[in-house]
Amino acid sequence: MANLGFFELLLFGVIALIVLGPEKLPVAARTLGRWYRTFRQASARLQHEISSELQLLETQEMLKKELAQIRQSEADMKAQMDKLQQSINQSNRQATSAWREIADMADAQSATLPMTNRWFLLGEYDRKHRLPPAPFLPNHTADPLLNKAVAQEHQS
C-alpha cells in the first residue's frame, strides 16, 4: 500500500469535499470503502490460492523425490535378495555335492566293510532281535514259595 501520511490524507479529504460537496461525500466514502474491501478480499483470495498452489507443487516435488527414493531402495533390496538367493543356491549345491560324496564314500565302505559300528543303520526289528533277551533268573533265596516249588521239582 502507498505510504500516505496524515497530511496527504487531509489534503485528499479537502479536495473530495470541494469536488463532491457535503451531501455526496458520505455516499462516495461508503462506495469507496466497499470497493476497497472487495479489492482486499480478492487480493487475499488470490494470495491464498497462489500459496496453496505453491504448497501443492512443493508437496508434489517432495512426493516425487520420496517415490524415487522408494524405487531406488526397492531396486537395492531386490539386488540384495538376488545375491542372497544366489548364495543360498550355491550353498545348497555345495551341501548336496558334499552329501553325495559322503554317501558315495559310505557306499564304498559298506561294500568292503562289515556292519561294524554301523548300528545307526539298523531298523527297529533288527535292533530288537539282534541280541537275544536276557534270561530270567529268579531270586531263590528271597521267595520261599519258589524255593518249595523248586525243591519239589528237584526231588521228583
Q: Is residue 76 part of a domain?
A: yes
Q: Model-level pTM greater than 0.85?
A: no
Q: pLDDT by residue (tens digit) across 68-85?
A: 999 999 999 999 999 999
Q: Considering its fold, how many domains does the chain have in total?
A: 2
Residues 89, 61: one domain?
A: yes
Residue 129 in domain:
no
Q: Which three cell numbers stand for residue 27?
A: 455516499
Please tell me whether residue 110 adopts helix, strand or coil conformation.
helix
Environment class of residue 120 by beta-carbon count within 10 Å: exposed (0-12), middle (13-18) or buried (19+)? exposed
CA atoms lying within 13 Å on the CB side of residue 155: 6
- Is 43 among the domain residues? yes
Q: Is residue 117 part of a domain?
A: no
Q: Is the same domain home to 65 and 98?
A: yes
In a domain, 133, yes or no: no
On whether both 91 and 64 belong to a single domain, the answer is yes
Domain membership flag for residue 41: yes
Q: Work out the percent of the chain whose per-residue pLDDT is above 90.
A: 38
Measured in degrees and rounded to the nearest 5, phi and psi for residue 150 equal -70, -40
Q: For residue 125, is it within any domain?
A: no
Pair 45, 70 in one domain: no
More confident residue, 59 or 17: 59
CA distance from start to end of the chain: 142
Q: How far is CA 4 from CA 1, 25, 41, 108, in A?
A: 9, 20, 21, 111
Same domain? 42 vs 68:
no
* Domain interval for residue 65: 56-103
Q: Which residue has the cell 545307526?
A: 120
Residue 87 lies in a domain: yes
